[in-house]
Structure 1
Amino acid sequence: MLLFTASRSKLVDDSLYILEKMKDLNLKVSTQSYNSVLYSFRETDKMWDVYKEINDKNEYTYSTVVDGLCRQQKLEDAVSFLRTSERKDTGPSVVSFNSIMSGYCKLGFVDIAKSFLCTVLKCGLVPSVYSHNILINGLCLAGSVAEALELVSDMNTHGVEPDSVTYHILAKGFHLLGMISGGVLEVIQDMLDKGLSPDVITYTILLCGQCKLGHIDMALILLKNMLSRGFEFCSIIPYSVMLNGLCKAGRISEALSLFYDMEANGLRPDLVAYSIVIHGLCRLGEFDMAVWLYDEMCTAEILPNSRTHGAILLGLCQKGMLLEAKALLDSLISNSNTLDIILYNIVIDGYAKSGCIKEALQLFEVVIESGITPSVATFNSLIYGYCKIRNIAEARRILDVIKLYGLVPSAVSYTTLMDAYANCGDTESIDELRSEMKTVGIAATNVTYSVIIKGLCSGWKIEKCNQVLSDRKLAKCYQVLGDMESEGITPDQITYNIIIQYLCRVKHSTEAFEFLKKMYSWNLVPTPATYNILIDSLCVYGNIKKADRFFYSLQKQGVSLSKFAYTTLIKAHCVKGDPEMAVSLFHQLLDRGFDVSIRDYSAVINRLCRRHLANESKLFFRLMLSQGISPDLDICQMMISSSDELLSWTIKSGLLPDQ
């Protein structure tokens, strides 16, 4: 009993001492006791010393050795041992095969593991549900979920029924591979039909998958299904997963409702739940509610952590409430809270983005005096701050200061500086920084390359650029794109938009549309800004018919166009003197539910009045009134210039015309 207890408690040295003592006293050590010691040593070479001492070896002895060899990743030795050392009367056990299959699955050799399932059957053994679960888990981790589902279906042919663990493994596999779909409820129903009950873990995994894919409504149905099964008191984790999904989807009112439903179901929100909702509120600008919830958490004696404080500080900085953010940070310091650099970084970054570089530097000094090591993010904020106030020389000096603290500048450090140089049209300094990045081994990102191209395409009075200069810039852009491709970086929409905009400005519209085709070939979905740039360019340079064709082709493809695309074409047709087309497009604008303001009507009426199209301007005037928008004095004066009858209407409406 003492030997058994010591070995199970993993007191290895004590187990060996007791074993030797028993031998000295000529006490017979039972096979069960030996097996306990063998189990303790199964992951070491000492396993063999214990194994040799066992005279009456049994099935458990052999399966323990096989398991030990598999744990030591000596799978070939395990197979060899299984062939030669199992008892002749009983043959190998399913347990031994399970260990070998598990070992191969862990190493990623699922096909080899599957072959042992066939060997089990050939040996006249019946694979257990555990045997199948090992292979199903291995297949899911290898990405072969379809094959895993087939194996689940084949279990019945072997006389084995899937258990709750089987479905748990499948749910985990679906989640890992992003294959959670509307079929999750069928999975739950299948379990119920087999008399199994999904546990909280299974539900939580499925919830995670739905939220990760943005299927929030399906996740809510799944949570409701879980609660209807009587799990409302079991765990706060599914609620936290759902809260996180709702907050990330911007559905904060539903998140708050669910948050307070937790208490109604007898679950007290913990620090994680509070932090998720507070962070979500701050991110969406609902700062007052976030502070109220923060106070409620403190009242409930739930101590906020760094993440919670960080969310509040971030919310304050985003609202421009820097004095309040600094006051909160000071109160945390005065209360002897151990603050990490992240909290300081939030406030320093807030100051930097507001152009308050002096205050940012003062807080940086506090960091140094407190003995806290600044991070690269700290210096990146300072670089941004100096660039914000156009002190690029000092920003460049900060890049060197980073190295003095034993830190390595990041791609963000260089990209921020490059952006400042790009705004100044200083391509030489950009090239120097890019060369330095290569020298120190810092890989450029998509954003870095976008900034480099932005520098090349900077619009410094581009109308004055001669054609040779434009062609040189374009050639350099092509070279940079080639560099991106050689480094395995795919240009994103921002990169393409910068180039397309430049091509449009230098009247290379054909090449601009070629770049649009390249976006399609890279499976990049153009942004509304991409289409806006192209439509605006065609209209500016008088290619209105081509703009119309492009516009309607996009509509046929089901592309969601922005309000800017519509208003650009409307204004162009007004200037051209084609009011019928302008009216048609304006009605489309209204039909698609865009928010049309008095400024939009004013822009159209102004252009029509300038073209002396009195009847058409009246039409838009009446349309504006029909939409419940009252004209201002400017619109009335424009209309009066083409129709004297509106003068009396203007005065009756309480608008006082000038001389």
Structure 2
Amino acid sequence: MPFCGGRLSTKLLNITISCLCKAKQLSKAESAIIDGIRLGVLPDAVTYNTVIDFYCRFATIDIAHSVLGRMRDAGIPPNVVSYNSLISGAVRKGLLSKSLELFDEMLERGVAPDAWSYNILMHCLFKLGKPDQANRVFRDIVLRGQVSAATYNVMITGLCKNGYVSNALNLFRNLRRHGFVPQVLTYNALVNGLCKARRLTAAKKVLREFADSGFEPNEITYTTVMKCCFRCGMFEQGLEILSEMRCLGFTFDGFAYCTVIAAMIKTGRMREADEIVEMMVSSGVRPDLVSYNTLINLYCRQGRLDEALKLLDEIEEEGLVCDQYTHAIIIDGLCRAGDFSGAERHLNYMNTLGFGYNLVALNCMLDGLGKAGHIDHAVKLFEVMEVKDSFSYTILVHNLCRARRFLFASKVLTSCLKCGCKVLRATQRAVIDGLRSIGFTNEVRKVKSRIRLARLAS
């Protein structure tokens, strides 16, 4: 039975290729294909598709695409799986135009797309900000009868991310009419979209329907709604959801706790933040770097710098590596404590660690110096900063106004607008009102003119 034996050998070859690719040993996988051919064990479409998928993930799309030529040379026509791997790989790498080209190539080669091909295409069009084209593809899929639960999930997620939350909600309502029962992923996508649009009432209604549908909302669902509550200033409702999650026995991760702690810090509710920290520690959650950064931020805002610095040692003991944000928080804490020399030393220490330019940390120093009344020092720092963003300009202009140096503030504001950066409207008004208060009416007209030009150009 040579045919059966050959088929089994090809299957064994495919298993070998798959294992080698998973181990990221592609050179050995390629050698295995060559050795197989020498032994009379011919690769099939599965063999080459495995290699294509690997190249898409760990190399370039062009290298992966070149495998199609090898398939044709071997008399194996590329199939829909081959192109799906290439198209999805291009989307993952952000090569959206390339993915559309590959889809067109698939059609030109006579390879019929399947439901997954269309789902990837819709996802790509949504990412390109072309919801109308994605909707046309969706209608074609429905007419062909190729629609699946995954298709609805892509459509709902894409509509929400492109600002068409009402359309996503209407589609969700019509799901059952098309014979589909919404899945957990569907509910999560819609709840997330509604929350990002700050439609909290609708999100909570969908959440109740979710619970009544026989499915159980998971941690992602609850955390999304909880975060929306905090973002909308509904802190008590957010804490109620936290309590409900605990009652339902959900296992909290660091992200959920950090969401609550960060909200408490932003609103100055330090006592509640401390209580959540104690809750996190007592629950045995192993902190990740985000958790540590949140805790360091809390301690710095409370003036507990010694405890914040101790956490740096704990981070290293846990085998984690501090990022730029960690050090920026420390620098901000030192500035809040008035220790600008210490902040500068820590900034130099960051440079020795190889972090390079840290705009966030420099903005923290700029703001700290301004608030402490060291406006001349702040101006000198601003002038030597290699890179400045809108926050840099806003911070300096705001603090110049606080120091009643309105004419200088107007010059900084004007230079900011000329280079295309933006300053908060409240800060712009502070400059104009300040100039009026000291009688510089001509300068007021110049600043207003520059602001109008900047708005027209944006």
With the length of structure 2 as denominator, give the TM-score of the two structures: 0.75
CA-to-partner distance for each residue in 1:103-154, whole Å, 9 max, x for gaps?
A: 6544434355556777888999987545543433332232221122234356
Describe the shift of the 1:278–1:407 C-alpha distance in structure 2 as closer, same or farther (beyond 3 A): closer
The reply on whether 1:201 has 2:79 as its aligned counterpart is no
2:68 aligned partner? 152
2: CA distance between counterparts of 1:407 and 1:174? 37
> Structure 1's 541 and 111: CA in aligned 2 closer, same or farther, altered over 3 A?
farther
Distance 1:188 1:510 in 2: 55
Q: Is the 1:136–1:151 contact (alpha carbons within 8 Å) kept by the matching residues of 2?
A: yes
Distance 1:342 1:581 in 2: 56
User: What is the correspondence of 1:359-374 to structure 2 with a 5 Å cutoff?
Assistant: none
Residue 240 of structure 1 and its aligned partner are, at CA, apart by 0.9
Equivalent position amino acid for 2:90 in 1: F
For 2:25 and 2:290, the matched residues in 1 are separated by 41
Match of 1:481 among 337, 342, 347: 347
What is the CA–CA distance in structure 1 between the aligned matches of 2:48 and 2:245, rounded to whole Å? 58
2:300 pairs with 409, 413, 422, which one? 422
CA separation of 1:551 and 1:282: change in aligned 2, threshold 3 A: closer
Partner of 1:171: 87
| Matched residue type, 1:586 | K
**Aligned partner of residue 457 in structure 1, secondary structure:** helix
Deviation, 1:170, is 0.7
- Take 1:396 and 1:295, find their aligned partners in 2: how far apart are those partners? 28
CA–CA distance in 2 between the matches of 1:264 and 1:593?
A: 47
Query: 1:306 and 2:306 equivalent?
Result: no
Q: Which runs of 5+ in 2 are unaligned?
A: none
| Contact 1:281-1:287 within 8 A present in 2 as well | yes
Quote the Cα distance in structure 2 between the aligned partners of 1:116 and 1:320: 60
SS at match of 2:112: coil
Residue type of the alignment partner of 1:174: A
2:52 aligned residue = 136
Whether 1:511 aligns to 2:381 is: yes
Q: CA deviation at 1:227?
A: 3.0
**For the Cα contact (< 8 Å) 1:244–1:277, is it kept in 2?**
yes
Aligned CA distance change for structure 1 residues 349 and 173 (closer, same or farther; 3 Å): closer
Map of 1:583 onto structure 2: 445
Shift in alpha-carbon separation, 1:514–1:258, aligned structure 2, 3 A: farther
| Structure 1 letter corresponding to 2:391 | A
TM-fit CA distance, 1:559: 3.1
Inter-partner Cα distance in structure 2 for 1:256 and 1:552? 44
Aligned counterpart, 1:454 = 332
- Residues 312-364 of structure 1: per-residue CA shift (max 9 Å, x gap): 5655565537379749967996xxxx532449x9799869967xxxxxxxxxx
CA pair 298-432 structure 1, distance change in 2 beyond 3 A: closer
| 2:363 alignment partner in structure 1 | 497
Tell me the distance in 1 between the aligned counterparts of 2:11 and 2:426: 68
Partner of 2:134: 222
Long gaps (5+) in structure 1: 1-31, 33-57, 69-95, 355-383, 461-472, 521-525, 595-659
Cα deviations by residue, 1:545-566 (Å, 9 ceiling, x for unpaired): 6853x54554444334442454
| Matched residue, 1:237 | 150
C-alpha distance in 2 between matches for 1:445 and 1:339 = 33
> What is the CA distance between 1:457 and its match in structure 2?
1.0
Q: Distance in 1 between matches of 2:34 and 2:262?
A: 66
Which letter maps to 1:199? D
Name the structure 2 match of 1:284.
197
C-alpha separation in 2, matches of 1:315 and 1:427: 31
Amino acid at match of 2:105: D
Q: TM-score, normalised by structure 1?
A: 0.55
Q: Counterpart of 2:236?
A: 322
SS in 1 for 2:94: coil
Q: Which amino acid aligns with 2:329?
A: V
- Counterpart CA distance in 2 for 1:111 and 1:427 is 52
- Alignment partner of 1:276: what SS? helix
Q: Is 1:110 the counterpart of 2:20 in the alignment?
A: no
- After superposition, the C-alpha distances for 1:151-195 in whole angstroms (9 at most, x for unaligned) are 43565555553221221121232133232x134343333322333
**Does the 8 Å CA contact 1:174/1:209 hold for their aligned counterparts?**
no
Provide, for residues 453-497 of structure 1, a one-character-per-residue CA deviation record: whole Å limited to 9, x for no partner.
12221266xxxxxxxxxxxx4442233224444556567553231
Q: 1:544 to 1:105 in 2, by over 3 A?
A: same
Determine whether 1:528 maps to 2:390: yes
For 1:388 and 1:475, locate their aligned partners in 2 and report how far apart those are by CA, in whole Å.
29
Q: SS at the partner of 2:97?
A: coil
Compared with structure 1, are the counterparts of its residues 117 and 281 closer, same or farther at alpha carbon in structure 2 (3 Å cutoff)? Answer: same
Whole-angstrom distance in 1 between the partners of 2:245 and 2:52: 54
- Report the CA distance between 1:289 and its aligned residue: 1.7
Looking at structure 2, the residues matched to 186 and 404 of structure 1 have their Cα atoms a distance apart, in angstroms, of 53
Of the structure 1 ranges 438-447 and 491-500, higher mean CA displacement relative to structure 2 is found in 438-447
With over 3 angstroms needed to count, the CA separation of the structure-2 counterparts of 1:324 and 1:173, relative to structure 1, is closer
C-alpha deviations, 1:527-578, integer Å up to 9, x for none? Answer: 4222212334556474846853x54554444334442454354345435544
Give the CA deviation at 1:304. Answer: 3.9
Q: How far apart are residue 237 of structure 1 and its match?
A: 0.8
Shift in CA distance, 510/66, structure 1 to aligned 2, threshold 3 Å: same
1:612-631, aligned counterparts within 5 Å? none
1:187, 1:424 → 2: CA distance?
A: 55
On the 8 A contact 1:120/1:126 being kept in 2, the answer is yes
Q: State the alpha-carbon separation in 2 of the partners of residues 407 and 124 from structure 1.
A: 55
Bigger relative contact order (CA 8 A; separation at least 6): 2
- Compared CA separation, residues 497 and 189, structure 1 to 2 (3 A): same
* Cα separation, partners in 2 of 1:456 and 1:346, compared to 1, 3 Å: closer
Task: Tell me the matched-pair count.
Answer: 447
Deviation at 1:235, TM superposition (A): 0.5
**Residue 259 (str. 1) matches residue 140 (str. 2):** no
How far apart, CA to CA, are the structure 2 residues paired with 1:268 and 1:407?
35
Q: What secondary structure does 1:182 align onto?
A: helix
Distance in 1 (alpha carbons) for counterparts of 2:159 and 2:169 = 9
Q: Percent identity?
A: 20
Q: Does the residue aligned with 1:197 lie in a helix, a strand or coil?
A: coil
The change in CA–CA distance for 1:410 and 1:160 in structure 2 (over 3 A counts) is closer
Quick one: structure 1 residues 243 and 59, their matched pair in 2 at CA, closer, same or farther if it must change by over 3 Å?
Answer: same
Aligned AA for 2:109?
K
Give me the whole-angstrom Cα distance separating, in 1, the residues matched to 2:98 and 2:451.
39
Q: Mean alpha-carbon deviation: is it higher for 138-147 or for 566-575?
A: 566-575
Query: Larger radius of gyration, structure 1 or 2?
Result: 1
Relative to structure 1, the CA distance from residue 499 to residue 104 in structure 2 (aligned partners, 3 Å threshold; closer, same or farther) is same
| Cα 1:562/1:396, change in 2 over 3 Å | closer
Deviations 1:70-94 (A, max 9, x none): xxxxxxxxxxxxxxxxxxxxxxxxx
SS at match of 1:288: helix
How far does residue 452 in structure 1 lie from its aligned partner after superposition?
Answer: 1.8
Contact 2:90 2:98 in 1 (8 A): no
Alpha-carbon spacing, 1:332–1:108, altered in 2? closer, same or farther (3 Å): closer
Residue 224 of structure 1 aligns to which amino acid in structure 2?
R
